[in-house]
């Protein structure tokens, strides 16, 4: 995320680091910054975990869906700005467009790249997913641009937050609240609706769900659409917060969100949220107190360590290998 901005921030902070008040402030800044980061990771991680729960596939293209969401939002927001719209209406319209398009992409990708491979060996859909991810990245690169594009800051600044702006900005507050709301909605969808029940049934045992009359293909489609919509919201929020996007943002964000999903235990929805926050904090503190040069290495190293020592994650269950 905005490397230059954060480095600058760190340098300023380091100057005052000796002051203990400043020290606490810095700590809280990192804590809350990690919370924001974590809620974005959680939003994207939910898509991974839901898809993995049902079809046991790492949807490599999920990060690209997030990127496409951000791009769609940027295009719509710029158009609206040019045609004279203002403030919150742009944020809402751009988010809606991003959600619609990301969901459409998620749906189509599943139909093209994964559905024909339902019964193929495990490696095949994975390779297909990697191919899809590379394809989408380059599709956006060729159709749009390979440069970083400035993203308008769509989230308004609140008056009551003015005194705390240096520790916790309004944008961060909005991100956190929006993420929490969406996760609550998702919990409602999964726990209390008919579709959610079908989702849980398919995740438990796809064949048995099919036998009990669940339209598994539809459930999978809905899962992809929901996951993509969440990623799109994450994309819009973070892009507006950081202020720039390009075609490759999905790759790193995707891997980090996947790390979050694995951290919490892949396939588990509360796990993804927990993993997201955990990763957000780990990264925030590591970059704040150690070094920001290796920001991405922390996430990767964490991922590798978790997969090696506790592959079932924080609250996941381990599964026995079957022949």
Partner 1 sequence: MINFSDIKKSLLISVWFMFLTFPIMVIRVNPIDKIVEWRWLNMILVGAASFIASFAWKHYFDKKEKGKSVKTFLKSGHTVFINNIADKKRFRLSFAFILFASAIIFPFIFSAYQVNIITTALVYVVLGLGLNIVVGIAGLLDLGYVAFYAVGAYSYGLLNHHFGLGFWAVLPAGALIAALFGILLGFPVLRLRGDYLAIVTLGFGEIIRITLENWNEFSSGPSGIANIQRPSLFGLELSLQSAAVYIYFLMIALTLFTVFVVKRLQNSRIGRAWLALREDETACEAMGINKTKTKLSAFALGATWAGMMGVMFAAKTTFINPASFTFHESAMILSIVVLGGMGSVSGVTAAAFVLILLPEYLRAFSDFRMLFFGAILVIMMIFRPQGLVSGARRAYRFNKADDKI
Residues that bind partner 1 (CB under 8 A): 57-58, 68, 71-72, 74-76, 78-79, 81-82, 97, 101, 104-105, 108, 112-113, 116-117, 120-128, 130-145, 149-152, 251, 255, 258, 262, 293-294, 296-297, 300-301, 303-304, 307-308, 311, 321-323
Closer Cβ to partner 1, 36 or 72, answer by number: 72
Closer Cβ to partner 1, 35 or 303, answer by number: 303
Closer Cβ to partner 1, 285 or 300, answer by number: 300
Closer Cβ to partner 1, 146 or 193, answer by number: 146
Q: Which residue blocks in 16-61 are alpha helix, DSSP H?
A: 20-55
Look at the block and give the residue holding tokens 């899809």: 132
User: Which H/E stretch holds residue 130?
Assistant: helix 123-143
Query: What tokens does 16 get?
Result: 């005052």
Quote the least distance from Cβ 108 to partner 1, whole Å: 6
Give the Cα separation of 103 and 100 in Å (integer).
5
Quote the least distance from Cβ 88 to partner 1, whole Å: 19
Quote the least distance from Cβ 213 to partner 1, whole Å: 25
Q: Work out whether the CA dihedral 317, 302, 272, 46 comes out positive or negative.
A: negative
Closer Cβ to partner 1, 57 or 282, answer by number: 57
Closer Cβ to partner 1, 20 or 321, answer by number: 321
Quote the least distance from Cβ 299 to partner 1, whole Å: 8
Distance (Å) of CA 204 to CA 49, 209, 287: 13, 8, 39
* Contact predicate 182/45, CB 8 Å: no
Give the Cα separation of 142 and 247 in Å (integer).
9
Query: What tokens does 237 get?
Result: 């929020």
Task: Give 96's contacts (C-beta < 8 A, 6+ positions apart).
Answer: none
Selection from 74, 47, 94 nearest residue 243 by Cα: 74
Quote the least distance from Cβ 291 to partner 1, whole Å: 8
Q: Give the end-to-end CA distance of the chain in Å, rounded to a whole number.
A: 43
Task: Write b or e for each residue in 72-90: b if 16 or more Cβ atoms lie within 10 A of its Cβ, otherwise e.
Answer: bbbbbbbebeeeeeeeeeb
Quote the least distance from Cβ 205 to partner 1, whole Å: 20
Quote the least distance from Cβ 111 to partner 1, whole Å: 10
Closer Cβ to partner 1, 176 or 247, answer by number: 247
């Amino acid at each position: 995320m905005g490397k230059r901005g954060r480095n600058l921030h760190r340098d300023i902070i380091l100057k005052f680091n000796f002051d203990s008040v400043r020290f606490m402030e810095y700590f809280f800044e990192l804590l809350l910054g990690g919370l924001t980061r974590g809620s974005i990771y959680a939003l994207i991680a939910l898509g991974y975990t839901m898809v993995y729960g049902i079809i046991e596939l790492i949807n490599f293209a999920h990060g690209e869906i997030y990127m496409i969401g951000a791009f769609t939002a940027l295009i719509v927001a710029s158009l609206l700005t040019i045609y004279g719209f203002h403030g919150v209406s742009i944020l809402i319209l751009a988010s809606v467009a991003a959600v619609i398009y990301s969901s459409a992409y998620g749906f189509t990708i599943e139909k093209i790249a994964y559905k024909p491979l339902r019964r193929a060996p495990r490696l095949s859909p994975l390779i297909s997913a990697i191919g899809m991810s590379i394809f989408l990245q380059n599709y956006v690169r060729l159709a749009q641009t390979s440069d970083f594009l400035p993203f308008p800051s769509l989230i308004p600044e609140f008056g009551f937050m003015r005194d705390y702006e240096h520790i916790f900005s309004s944008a961060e507050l909005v991100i956190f609240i929006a993420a929490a709301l969406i996760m609550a909605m998702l919990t409602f969808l999964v726990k209390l609706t008919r579709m959610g029940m079908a989702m849980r049934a398919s995740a438990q045992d796809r064949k048995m769900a099919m036998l009990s009359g669940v339209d598994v293909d539809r459930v999978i489609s809905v899962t992809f659409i929901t996951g993509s919509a969440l990623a799109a919201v994450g994309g819009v929020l973070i892009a507006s917060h950081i202020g720039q996007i390009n075609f490759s943002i999905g790759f790193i964000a995707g891997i980090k969100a996947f790390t979050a999903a694995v951290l919490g235990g892949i396939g588990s929805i509360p796990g993804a949220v927990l993993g997201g926050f955990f990763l957000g904090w780990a990264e925030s503190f590591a970059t704040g107190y150690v070094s920001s040069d290796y920001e991405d290495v922390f996430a990767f190293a964490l991922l590798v360590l978790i997969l090696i020592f506790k592959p079932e994650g924080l609250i996941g269950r381990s599964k026995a290998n079957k022949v």
